[in-house]
Amino acid sequence: MSDLKGKVAWVTGAGSGIGEAGALALAKAGAAVVLTGRRKEPLEDVAKRIKAAGGTALVKAGDLMKASTAEKTGAAIKEKFGRLDILVNNAGLNIPKRRWSELDYAGADTVIHGNLSSAYYCVIASLPMMRAQKDGVMIHTASWAGRFISALSGTAYTAAKHAVVAMSHTINLEECTNNIRSSVLCPAEVATPILDKRPIPVSKADRAKMLQSADMGDLILYIATRPAHVCINEVLISPTWNRGYVAAQQNRG
């Protein structure tokens, strides 16, 4: 079941990485895709590729840390398409100075709003359309850091991604009778541009062993194309060469 013709998907953080891969995968399966992110140029590039392959793409650039962006985008989707079947809540970010000893107010606001508030705003914008049609799938990108505590991801990012996991489960708790399914993805390291924000650079060799954006795109498509009676509540996924596990083995040695 991989035919999404007639379906409408809204993908946030769609200009690169997981969002880009998810948008391309959904469009290839026939969905009309609405692309949101802060930078218009990468979104236009993704839209161009979708249209060149015969698909439908609409660019709605904006900062989702502002509730008004989600509200306006939701309204635009309703006006143009009259429905929303899939929300891929992928927008997120991190900062280099992420330890408590370095974190300041502005940094905390940026990470928490960029990962948690933005996701909430998009859910609020999407639910009325999905409730009205008694159908919908939400897919949220959390993180391995949304399930496990480590110093690597930083304090604010870890807290925000734990909250995204909780958010997703509460959607199922309240909206399952409206036939709305919410899935939260908890990937370990994925070779995306967010790695460039790491305080310690990540080598090309290490990036090659990580999950790739296309792997996550395949997963997003799989979840989006399950029958309506199936809800994949949560996915915990990692590269086989899990650097955390490898480091633990080396420390034991």
* Of the candidates 142, 230, 250, 190, the residue with the CA atom closest to the CA atom of residue 17: 190
- CB of 184 closer than 8 Å to CB of 171: no
User: How many whole angstroms separate alpha carbon 7 and alpha carbon 2?
Assistant: 12
Identify whether 213 is part of a domain: yes
Domain that holds residue 62: 8-252
Identify whether 2 is part of a domain: no
| CATH code of residue 235 | 3.40.50.720
- CB of 156 closer than 8 Å to CB of 112: yes
- The residue ranking higher by pLDDT, 200 or 44, is 44
pLDDT given for residue 1 in this prediction:
46
Identify whether 243 is part of a domain: yes
Is residue 248 over pLDDT 90?
Answer: no
Residue 90 neighbours by CB distance under 10 Å: 27
- CB of 39 closer than 8 Å to CB of 91: no
pLDDT given for residue 6 in this prediction:
97
Identify whether 3 is part of a domain: no
Identify whether 199 is part of a domain: yes
pLDDT given for residue 57 in this prediction:
98
Question: Residue 162 gets which letter from DSSP?
Answer: H
Identify whether 79 is part of a domain: yes
Convert the pLDDT of each residue in 21-67 to its tens digit. Answer: 999 999 999 999 999 999 999 999 999 999 999 999 999 999 999 99
Q: What is the reported pTM?
A: 0.95
Binning pLDDT at 50, 70 and 90, where does residue 72 land? very high
pLDDT given for residue 12 in this prediction:
98
Identify whether 235 is part of a domain: yes
> How many domains does the chain fold into?
1
Is residue 198 over pLDDT 80?
Answer: no
Convert the pLDDT of each residue in 83-142 to its tens digit. Answer: 999 999 999 999 999 999 999 999 999 999 999 999 999 999 999 999 999 999 999 999
- What number is the average pLDDT over the span 238-243? 93
Catalytic residue list: 157
pLDDT given for residue 253 in this prediction:
60
